[in-house]
Amino acid sequence: GQQVMQIPQYQHVQEGEDFTTYCNSSTTLSNIQWYKQRPGGHPVFLIQLVKSGEVKKQKRLTFQFGEAKKNSSLHITATQTTDVGTYFCAGPFVFDSNYQLIWGAGTKLIIKP
Amino acid sequence: ETGVTQSPTHLIKTRGQQVTLRCSSQSGHNTVSWYQQALGQGPQFIFQYYREEENGRGNFPPRFSGLQFPNYSSELNVNALELDDSALYLCASSPESPTYNEQFFGPGTRLTVL
């Protein structure tokens, strides 16, 4: 079936270091969405990327969509404690008119004490 | 403008029982999606309703069913509960848009099956 793979599963960083999570789809995507889920919370939408090669920035967060629209990344510069949480990518798949939104397993950002 | 609400917040059931979870979508949103999130996992798409019709379904058995009402609120029903159904069930609503898919999530219902 359709898959969205996300790596790494965890990333431990010192506050102030950078963080990156990568997302790969088994097939070409029409768009990709990124969400953040704080511990004990629910996912919160961050952004949607649509165009091949698209790069979007939100303050310290940089999102990229690959040229083939099969991969994406989220990079956080100079992490802060408020960045702690799990970051998910999600891609839509349509097969036989059936729509599904498939999520990656997430990358958990952990700030070392 | 109220956000997405879900009820109940927590629920304990025994194997074989049936459960109904409820979701009120954000004002003006006509699309509702349901997800199952096991501990430490990503959300798994169960199904999506658009204007009272199911327009997408994930790889869940038929004992997972749903409804969307004319006011766009929604229910998730699970029959013949199994231990593996223990999870956080999330509802998300989104406004109608052919190209922009921002979803707004509710706080979830934590279901425990004993």
Whole-number Cα distances in Å, A3 to A6, A89, A104, B32: 10, 11, 8, 22
* Among candidates B42, B48, B107 on the partner chain, residue whose Cβ is nearest the Cβ of A103: B42
Determine, for residues B56 and A102 on separate chains, whether the beta-carbon distance falls below 8 Å: no
Q: Chains A and B: how many Cβ contacts under 8 Å?
A: 54
Which residue on chain B is closest to A1 by alpha carbon? Answer: B59
Which region among A69-73, A77-81, A103-107, B101-105 has the lowest average model confidence (pLDDT)? B101-105
Chain B contact present for A87, CB below 8 A: no
Q: Does A50 touch chain B if contact means CB atoms closer than 8 Å?
A: yes
Least confident of A2-6, A59-63, B61-65, B75-79: A2-6
Q: Which residue among A1, A44, A99 sits closest to B56, beta carbon to beta carbon? A: A99
d(CA A110, CA A83): 9
pLDDT in tens, chain B (114 residues): 579 999 999 999 999 999 999 999 998 899 999 999 999 899 999 999 998 999 899 999 999 999 999 999 999 999 999 999 999 999 999 987 766 688 999 999 999 999
Cβ pair B108:A42 closer than 8 A? yes
